[in-house]
Structure 1
Amino acid sequence: MASFRKIDGKWEYRVRYKQGDKYKEKSKRGFKTKKEAQLAAAKVETDIEQFGFSENGEEYLDKFILDWLEVYKKPNLKPITYSVQERNVRLNIIPRWGKYRLKQINRTEYQKWLNKLTDKYSEGTIRRIHSIMNSALSSAVHDFNILYSNPIAKSKIPKKDKEEQLKYFTKKELEIFLSHCHPVKKSKYKHSIQYSVLFTLMSRTGLRIGEALALHWSDIEGDKLTINKNLVYPLNSTPYISTPKTKNSTRVIKLDDHVLFMLKRHKTNQKEMYLRYPTYKRPAEDLLFHQQDGRWLRTNVVRDYFKEVCKRAGLTILSPHALRHSHAVHLLESGASIKYVSNRLGHAGIKTTADTYLHITEKIENDAIEMYQQYLN
């Protein structure tokens, strides 16, 4: 219900409305005539009746985006995907934009922020952060009608040099890395070859860390490996098995002779470990890799061990995901087709593979053209 009054020669409207269990009021003054105030108030009342609110971009970003995540995103996302998005909102978006009203966010200031993120994050991480923010503000426009337009819709993800961004081991570096994967002499379970086998498998198949840690012995049949699950180990939470990252991530790949040899050794070594160490427990399931207590091998433990091996080998400290990149690069350098590499890695499509390994595919293309010219001449 609107009320009007004249103050110092100017008209003011007040519209009182109920939002949830609380009553709110919206007012504005400065109208030359009562008619102008009535027309403006009528527009506000129409918005309230149609959309359930009267504010246009007045809500603070932190409240809006947290509500948006909890109510509209969480029910439709895998738990691990939601946790990644929530973490990016909490650690990156809210510290910078939380106390801005939605209508205060502008493209230039936002683009400067994206550009500055290149000092801290990879292009892929920046793209994920922007995707969350852009999606939230698009909802503010199209779903909730509290913004007239999305100010960051046309923002650009700053490009980084692809070769510099992509972290992988050369053939020689990988050989050095794998030669240092055995336990040190003073290790409690120094006879285990588990990490040597795990990292060999990842480096020669391109498996993601979650895919590798979810494997059972029953996933191997002859020289074929079936990848149809992913181990999710949330921070301070219980691990669980989820479906693979994308539809194409479910796949069957061929294992080379060296991997098969290492897996055979690993199976024998596991049995020896159960007999040699009373505290080394057999898991309830036929897990390919597991902790000494028989539970899933923790992803953070694997990452820490990986870094220690890098230090031990005198190599640049990378993450286990570098083994996936290494496998792709080595396949492409050996002459494998983009389509084969894409299928083997479980990418959503060939474009993903080509974009990720652009500098390698460009080199292959240049070499091919050079050989073609030599052939014609």
Structure 2
Amino acid sequence: MGTPKRGHGEGQYKNLDSGKVQWRVRVTYPDGSTARPSGTAKNITAARLEVAAAKAEAEAGRRPLTLALTVSQMVTEYMEAKRARWADRTAWNNQALYRRHILPHLGAKRAAGLQPKDLRAYFEALQAGGLGDSGQRQIHVLLSGAYKRAVGDGLLKDNPASYGRPVKAARQAARVKAFTPEELGQFITAALEDRWALPLVFLGLTGMRIGEALALTWEDYREDPKVKGAYFVSVSKTRSEFEGKAYTGAPKTAKGVRNVPLSADAVAIVEDMRRRVLLEAGSHGNGVSPYIFPSVDGRYMRQDTARAVMRRTCEAAGVPLLSPHALRHSVASYYLGEGRDAVTVAALLGHAQASTTLNIYAHALPDRLRAMTFDRSALERPKDPPAKEEPAPTAAPAAAAARLAAVPRRPRKGGPRKA
């Protein structure tokens, strides 16, 4: 084996016993970082060409393929890079998906070695294990984002997640669970007897999300300056829990930031809560709660508490056992069934598009769809009514005739009238 030869800034070369030449060169990337890529060529000429190519790639910002990068390292680095931009719930959810489903099955595998067929088999195994379409879709988004970042950094050449996608299970479209108007009335009647169920009554009157209602503070409750005696709540945040952690964040979509008008019954619920909050403040000693719907100790009411209250209220009302979110579905279904336009209903619910509202609540429109019929007679052009005879013109009054005669006539210019 020969000794390394220095190339005066053009790299180092070493003759191997096999006759090949091993090369190594120091390169600098546009961001100022450096590296020492290396390789083996069949001769010195080929080695110099590979050195030149490595330097050119470095100047263009392209890094060499990293075969040692594992899926675990790739996904972890991606989540760390994105953490500042993700909402808390998104970050916690992705961490849970990584720990439960990615690390045990793919974590130790080389990221460059995974093929689309490997990912398809992985998603089929997740589906067989009971993970639904939504969970698989979130995992695919996480893997795809991690691969795109690695490809952009020059660590990998391909993104197998572009072709290795989960396949949705064949099944019938699920019907949105909601109360009928009669059931909703029964539920509200029973809920009014329970202090803990008053937030649920509010949901059944406004169609808000449970996290949006539980995040409401007294500053969000206002009188409409344009209409005396009309009130609304300003929705700008939501509160939720994930694996025991509570957080406050922005609404689900940009359209979720909105003002929700309140009916007289909804206003009565808020004013009743104001009275209760003041009374409870004297007993728990934590001061007046800033929340409209707090726990009895003035702290934020948790969603799992609301779900437990929902169960017992459904039983008391004799209605199907549904989740608090079903109250939102019930309000939307009621409005669409009553003929309210989808654009207005979407604005009330905070949906980004009216098409989302129609896609979710199409089941609420059967009566209106049944009315969308016509007979052949509706296509026939109605016959024109017979024309009315115009009355014969009457002679002008004598006074009018005299005025016309008195108007001076301008002489006609030119020669005799042409035939």
**For the superposition of Structure 1 and Structure 2, which TM-score range results when normalised by the shorter chain?**
0.7 to 0.9
Partners in 1 of 2:378 and 2:124 — Cα distance?
A: 46
Residue 161 of structure 2 aligns to a residue whose secondary structure is: coil
Q: What is aligned with 1:283?
A: 288
Do 2:214 and 2:238's aligned partners in 1 also have CA atoms closer than 8 Å?
yes
Shift in CA distance, 328/161, structure 1 to aligned 2, threshold 3 Å: farther
- Report the CA distance shift for 1:175/1:117 in structure 2 as closer, same or farther (over 3 A): farther
| Letter in structure 1 aligned against 2:140 | H
State the Cα distance separating 1:259 from its structure 2 match: 2.5
Superposition pairs of residues 351-366 of structure 1, within 5 angstroms: 351-360=355-364, 363=366, 366=369
Q: What is the CA distance between 1:24 and its match in structure 2?
A: 8.6
Among candidates 103, 108, 114, match of residue 117 of structure 2: 108
CA shift in 2, pair 1:232/1:175, >3 Å:
same
Residue identity matched to 1:376: A
TM-score normalised by length of structure 1: 0.76
- From the superposition, tell whether residues 59 and 308 of structure 1 become closer, same or farther in structure 2 (CA, over 3 Å): farther
Tell me whether 336-345 or 154-163 shows the greater mean CA deviation.
Answer: 154-163
Distance 1:294 1:88, change over 3 A: same
Letter matched to residue 341 of structure 1: V
Residue 260 of structure 2 aligns to a residue whose secondary structure is: strand
RMSD value, Cα = 4.0
Q: Deviations over 1:314-341 (max 9, x none)?
A: 7766543232223222322222222112
Alpha-carbon distance change, 122 to 215 in structure 1, aligned in 2, over 3 angstroms: farther
2:74 and 2:147 in contact (8 A); partners too: no
Q: Is the 8 A contact 1:115 1:158 kept in 2?
A: no
Q: How far apart, CA to CA, are the structure 1 residues paired with 2:53 and 2:68?
A: 17
The alpha-carbon deviation at position 12 of structure 1 amounts to 6.0
Mapped to 1, the partners of 2:331 and 2:233 lie a distance apart of: 16
Per the alignment, residue 91 of structure 1 pairs with 100
Q: Is the 8 A contact 1:2 1:16 kept in 2?
A: yes
Cα offsets for 1:138-168 (capped at 9, x unmatched) = 2222x21223232222536626657426443
Q: Please report how far the alpha carbon of residue 354 of structure 1 lies from its aligned counterpart in structure 2 after TM superposition.
A: 3.0
1:376 has 2:378 as partner: yes
Going from structure 1 to structure 2, the CA distance change for 1:247 and 1:181 (only over 3 Å counts) comes to: same
Q: 1:122 to 1:266 in 2, by over 3 A?
A: farther
Match of 2:232 in 1: 224
Q: Secondary structure at the match of 2:208?
A: coil
Q: 1:375 to 1:234 in 2, by over 3 A?
A: farther
Aligned partner of 2:266 in structure 1 is 259
Distance in 2 between the 1:160 and 1:272 partners?
A: 54
Pair 1:62-2:72 in alignment: yes
SS at match of 2:174: helix
Q: CA deviation at 1:198?
A: 0.7
User: Is the helix fraction higher in 1 or 2?
Assistant: 1
3-state SS of paired residue (1:226): strand
What does residue 202 of structure 1 align with?
203
- CA distance change for structure 1 residues 205 and 78 in 2, over 3 Å: closer, same or farther? same
Give SS of 1:164's match. Answer: coil
- Does the aligned pair in 1 maintain the 2:190–2:316 contact within 8 Å? yes
In structure 1, the partner of 2:168 is 158
Residues 1:273 and 1:76: Cα distance change in structure 2 (over 3 Å): closer
Structure 2 CA distance for aligned equivalents of residues 197 and 245 of structure 1: 23
Over alpha carbons, which structure has the higher Rg? 2
Higher relative contact order (CA 8 A, sep 6+): 1
Moved more, 195-204 or 153-162: 153-162
CA distance in 2 between partners of 1:357 and 1:102 (Å):
42
1:324 paired to 2:333: no
Contact 1:163–1:359, Cα closer than 8 Å, also in 2: no
The letter of the residue matching 1:95 is P
Instruction: Go from structure 1 to structure 2 and tell me whether the alpha carbon gap of 1:104 and 1:272 turns closer, same or farther (over 3 Å shift).
Output: same
- 4+ residue runs over 6 A deviation: 16-19, 23-27, 311-316
TM-score, normalised to structure 2, is 0.69
Q: Which runs of 5+ in 1 are unaligned?
A: 183-191
**Distance across 2 between alignment mates of 1:359 and 1:57:** 52
Range that drifts further, 311-320 or 239-248:
311-320
- Letter paired with 1:84: N
Give the aligned partner of residue 185 of structure 1: none
Q: What count of residue pairs does the alignment treat as equivalent? A: 357
**Distance (whole Å) between structure 1 residues aligned to residue 22 and residue 362 of structure 2:** 60
User: Could you say if the C-alpha distance between residues 157 and 79 of structure 1 is closer, same or farther in structure 2, counting changes exceeding 3 Å?
Assistant: same
1:25-174 matches, cutoff 5 A? 32-33=42-43, 35-36=45-46, 38-40=48-50, 42-44=52-54, 46-47=56-57, 50-51=60-61, 53-56=63-66, 58-71=68-81, 73-114=82-123, 117=126, 120=130, 123-141=133-151, 143-154=152-163, 155=165, 158=168, 163-164=173-174, 166-174=176-184
1:300/1:332 CA distance change after superposition, 3 Å: same
Checking the alignment, whether the CA contact within 8 Å between 1:60 and 1:102 is kept in structure 2 is yes
CA drift at 1:7: 4.8
Residues 231 and 262 of structure 2 are in contact (CA less than 8 Å); yes or no, is this contact kept in structure 1?
Answer: yes
Decide whether aligned partners of structure 1 residues 42 and 342 sit closer, same or farther in structure 2, where only a CA change above 3 A counts: same
Could you tell me how far 1:65 is from its partner in structure 2?
A: 1.4
Cα distance in structure 2, aligned partners of 1:207 and 1:246:
13
| Equivalent position of 1:187 in the other structure | none
What is the letter of the counterpart of residue 92 of structure 1?
H
Which residue of the partner structure matches residue 186 of structure 1? none
User: For 2:346 and 2:170, how far apart are their aligned partners in 1?
Assistant: 22
Q: CA deviation at 1:103?
A: 1.9
Structure 2 unaligned residues grouped into runs of 5+:
1-10, 29-33, 224-229, 380-419
